[in-house]
Amino acid sequence: MKDKIIFKDISKTYGNKEILKNINLKIEEGEFIAILGPSGCGKTTLLKLVNRLLTFDKGSILIDGKDILESNPVDLRRNIGYAIQGSILFPHMTIEQNISYVPSLLNGNDKKRTKMAVYKWLKIVGLDESLLERYPDELSGGQQQRVGIARALAASPDILLMDEPFSAVDEITRKNLQDEIIRIQKETGITILFVTHDVEEAMRLGTKILILNNGSIEQFDVPENILSNPASDFIKELIKYQ
Amino acid sequence: MIIQIFTILFERKNFFLDLLWQHIYISFTAVIIAAVIGLGIGIFIERFRCTSKIILSIVNFMYTIPSIALLGFLIPFSGIGNKTAIIALIIYAMLPMVRNTYIGLANVSPAILEASEGMGSTKWQTLFRIKFPLAFPVIFSGFRSMVTMTIALAGIASFIGAGGLGVAIYRGITTNNFVMTMAGSLLIALLAIFFDVILNFGEKLLTKRKKGKYLYNIIIGIVCIAILIKFIVPTFLVPVSNTIHIATKPMTEQYILGEMLKELIEHDTDLSVKLTSGVGGGTTNIQLGMESGKFDLYPEYTGTGWNQVLKEKGLYTEKLFEEMNKKYQKDFNMMWYGMYGFNNTYGLAVSKKIAEKYNLRTYSDLAAVSDKLIFGAEYDFFEREDGYDALSRTYHMNFSSTVDMDIGLKYQAMKDEKIDVMNIFTTDGQLTGADVTVLEDDLSFYPSYKAGNIVRVKTLETYPELKNVLLKLEGIITDSDMAEMNYKVETMKQEPGNVAHQFLLEHRFVEE
């Protein structure tokens, strides 16, 4: 497997507070990385560095071997799916308009291609076509999350960034959505970075788990190794109920 | 009252319809420009937040300038007429537009903006596809209140010679015609309510999502096209070159003179006349319009020209006429052309009974018996420098007592024999039919205010046919003719145009 995303000596500070300290990380293509850690550990910051919503002070990030600072941020983001907390949809757009948002930015007037992408992704996330004309507030929470995923994926990116996307739904819906995202990842072979503070969710989803604490990497490994071989007391404490 | 209002609206529907269109034209020109500029500024200060505080303060400040003061500031820059009115309306419309645009855009949830940015929207795409549609309800409500406000405020446009329903209000005030004032106000209120309802309906359609949008577009389209046809097309079709622009001051007799000039010029020549009646601020503002070429001629009084326009000190008498006329030509390239004959100056009147009893003809006659008479005037006559004290000193008058009273009550008081002598204007409409004698100012205490036309020399050169028309009216109207015509308008509630027409008919200047 080739390296998809490489973090080299990444550091970031807000004022005099260090958010990320010397992060070095290699993520292979097709991996599902669950990023786990307590609030304020820097996991959301790490995610937002990838699509340049935030900037870093030191180091570099490579995607497919290319420094992300060399590409235009807008082009970069259009090739990286992005689903945030609660998968916030645009309330003034129909479901169809929401899903086709990024393709329409890319395809311009090629409406047919956009429409085909919408149908394809609607099917993949398991939603009925009858919902296309509805508005977000007419959908249930679970349906909204699915639309959020379809929207993030609609332009067929090969990286998907997700920041606690399932935090706003009930337990049963979350389980369904987790199954769904695992299936989608297998079908598409997309590389996913998934931020969560829920250990169980991370264990369920991640092919690898990245545990952050105070801006540093505590451990980066497959779930089994983390459970059998926790690298620190912090991790032992974190996984003690698993 | 209400019946009277509807009667006047019905009887003079062309007059009001014309004003209504002008009102819509003025307010909607302002609305459209203000909407575009206001949106632009709102978007700008939201994008560059550091500018928002200062710009919002400026916009707020401009909103608090009293309208009369604002118009006063603007007149030196943009002259008088529609242009200045529209600029003033735009300035007032800025506050609701800029503020609501800014607030609407600034309050879009940051999470939504981050989603948009994270998905690869450019700044403009985020603005137009996400922020703007989400801010739309707030912006639209600002727009809605701006439209209502502008329609209401456009009523002040007439104070500076612009058109619109304010003309009816102002004309009502200056000719003592309360019903006309009410009718104009009522129409403004109805117009504002009408557009508010339409916009409310439009707002509902727009926020209803889907459907309806077409209907709304169609309504907007029809309104726009109607306005375009009404106002843009005629400006292309009608040659404006041979139009004479006449202005008049906000006084009953000037409304009548304006109508008279218009009718006679259009009757005798091929010229068409655009009459701007009752320009607020009177001489000062009309003079500016004359200098800029917006107006070609207007009726003025000699004493006013001497003191107020030429800013000469000292008492004007008709001996100074030639000197004044030369100065007008030299300083302004304008001249006095066609003196009507009447003199609208201050005067003293006594009841006929008293006049006969003491055989009074002049002020000096009056002075001799003043210790037996009661003098009545509005209170400012007793305060003014050229008022009661100066008059008594000049003529050695010594009235037995004086009475302060409202200007409208003097004639009644004299009829009831509560006063024997009162101050008047020599063309007061109320003189007609009143049982009084106007005395002669034999020592020339008051300046002379003879009425005549001030005309731009250029206009006379371009349209020499105008000269004959203006000379036709020379010396034709006496003080009592003018007082009678004023009486017909103010007391009998006849239209200035009709009164002017009757006068021209009697003198066989026009036919039925």
Whether residues B26 and B52 fall in one domain: yes
Residue of B nearest to A74 (CA): B120
Q: Mean of the per-residue pLDDT values for chain A?
A: 87
CA distance B21 to chain A (A): 37
Residue after which a domain boundary falls, among B382, B403, B438: B438
Which two three-digit tokens encode residue B394? 């000049």
Residue after which a domain boundary falls, among B387, B409, B438: B438
Is B7 inside any structural domain?
yes
CA distance B293 to chain A (A): 53
Here the CATH number for the domain that contains residue B101 is 1.10.3720.10
Tell me B492's DSSP state. S
Contacts of B415 (CB under 8 A, 6+ apart): B351, B434, B435
Is B512 inside any structural domain?
no
Is B237 inside any structural domain?
no
Whether residues B414 and B460 fall in one domain: no
Whether residues B166 and B255 fall in one domain: no
Among the partner residues B119, B125, B134, nearest to A92 by beta-carbon distance: B134
Query: How far is Cα B302 from Cα B285, in angstroms, rounded to an integer?
Result: 17
DSSP A20-54: EEEEEEEEETT-EEEEE--TTSSHHHHHHHHTTSS
Q: Could you tell me the pLDDT band of residue B491, with boundaries at 50, 70 and 90?
A: confident
Whether residues B287 and B155 fall in one domain: no
pLDDT above 50 for A97: yes
Collapsed DSSP state (helix, strand, coil) of residue B331:
helix
Residue of B nearest to A90 (CA): B112
Whether residues B311 and B363 fall in one domain: no
Per-residue pLDDT reduced to its tens digit, A120-154: 888 888 888 888 888 998 888 888 888 988 898 88
Treating both helix axes as pointing N-terminal to C-terminal, what angle do A141-153 and A171-188 enclose, rounded to 10 degrees? 20
Whether residues B321 and B400 fall in one domain: no
CA distance A28 to chain B (A): 22
Is B247 inside any structural domain?
yes
Whether residues B47 and B187 fall in one domain: yes
Is B476 inside any structural domain?
yes
Here the CATH number for the domain that contains residue B337 is 3.40.190.10
Query: What is the pLDDT at residue A146?
Result: 87
Per-residue pLDDT reduced to its tens digit, B258-279: 999 999 999 998 888 998 888 8
Residue after which a domain boundary falls, among B438, B467, B495: B438
Whether residues B350 and B335 fall in one domain: no
Residue B321's CB: how many other CB atoms inside 10 A?
18
Cβ-contact B106, B47 below 8 angstroms: no
Higher local confidence (pLDDT), B107 or B231? B107
Is B215 inside any structural domain?
no
Please indicate if any CB of chain B lies within 8 Å of the CB of A74: yes
Torsion angles phi and psi, residue B454, rounded to 5: -100, 125
Query: What is the pLDDT at residue B68?
Result: 81
Whether residues B109 and B16 fall in one domain: yes
* Structural domains of chain A in order of their starting residue, each with its CATH number: 29-52+80-238 (3.40.50.300)
| Residue B461: burial class (beta carbons within 10 Å; 0-12, 13-18, 19+) | exposed
Query: What is the pLDDT at residue A110?
Result: 73
- What are the chain B neighbours of A88 within 8 Å (beta carbons)? 109, 111-112, 115
Domain that holds residue B487: 243-342+450-506
Among the partner residues B109, B119, B133, nearest to A77 by beta-carbon distance: B119
Q: Mean of the per-residue pLDDT values for chain B?
A: 87
Whether residues B494 and B399 fall in one domain: no
Whether residues B160 and B256 fall in one domain: no
Which two three-digit tokens encode residue B264? 């006679």
The interface predicted TM-score (ipTM) is 0.86
The count of structural domains within chain B is: 3
Per-residue pLDDT reduced to its tens digit, A217-226: 989 999 999 8
pLDDT above 50 for B212: no
Whether residues B389 and B308 fall in one domain: no
Query: What is the pLDDT at residue B241?
Result: 60
Cβ-contact B440, B362 below 8 angstroms: yes
Pairing of strands A159-163, A80-83: parallel
| Closest-CA residue to A146 (of A171, A185, A178) | A178
